[in-house]
Amino acid sequence: MDRKLLYILLPLRPVIFLLFFMAGSLITNKELSEISHWWSVADTPINILTIILLTAVSRKNGMTYRELINYQKGKTKVSRIIPVSLVILTVGTGGMYLAGFLCYGVIPYLPQMMIAPIHPVLAIINIPLLPVTTALAEDGLYLGCGVNHIRNKYAAVLVPAFFFALQHSFIPPLPDLRYMIYRFLSFLPITVILCGYYYQKRDPVPIMIGHALIDVATVTEIFATSAIPGVYEGMLGS
């Protein structure tokens, strides 16, 4: 893959999220903080856009999306999926707890907008859509384009992991440096582990399944706060 194209692709998602929410702010005449709870609704179409872009890039380089991520039918064993999923859930949650303590002195710290209610219909539609599209988009980009196409073994892990974590600072984007650092630190441990694991195994399936599962937990929480009165206030401890 052309290095110039790689330099464009890896930092692209933070830019897309920022532009998407800035456009939303202008259209609705509201501050970014006032529309931040719509992050999960915005995430799915941005994921689909990313998948379309990855498919186009793959074709331009004479390969399919499956070849981009090194998917090989029958390679993955169930015995590998379970521990990887547990690591993602454990380290992902632990990273958020640690970052919350470092940035806010609170365990667990929970940004209100991440589980804020949205329209229940959109919330239930997003339960299957967001986890699946997120795994295909993010893992396709940072593992398929990043890890697979950077030659230096250390840079192949650390550079994609950095941008993998950085994008979360813009989901949703807020003009709050402490929040952005919190989001970055929350995801950096798990993105380093995922990129390192993929560099060694070149098997995206366990990562994608574990990634989707942790997102299922998130969108299920959003559905609960959207559909059941009092759940949101209860989760915030108010």
Chain segment 45-95, per-residue pLDDT in tens? 999 999 999 999 999 999 999 999 999 988 888 888 999 999 999 999 999
Range of the domain at 203: 3-236
Range name among 103-112, 202-211, 229-238 with the lowest pLDDT average? 229-238
Q: Provide the domain count of the chain.
A: 1
Is 90 exceeded by the pLDDT of residue 154? yes
Long-range CB contacts for residues 42-48, cutoff 8 Å, separation at least 24: 42/17, 42/172, 43/130, 43/133, 43/134, 43/171, 44/126, 44/129, 44/130, 44/133, 46/13, 46/16, 46/17, 46/20, 46/137, 47/130, 47/133, 47/134, 47/136, 47/137, 47/138, 48/133, 48/137
List, for residues 99-110, the tens digit of each pLDDT value.
999 999 999 898
Give the model's pLDDT for residue 3.
Answer: 73
**Which two structure tokens, joined as six digits, stand for 145?**
């384009």
The count of residues in the chain is 238
Percent share of the chain, pLDDT over 70 = 99
Percent share of the chain, pLDDT over 90 = 85
Is 60 exceeded by the pLDDT of residue 238? no
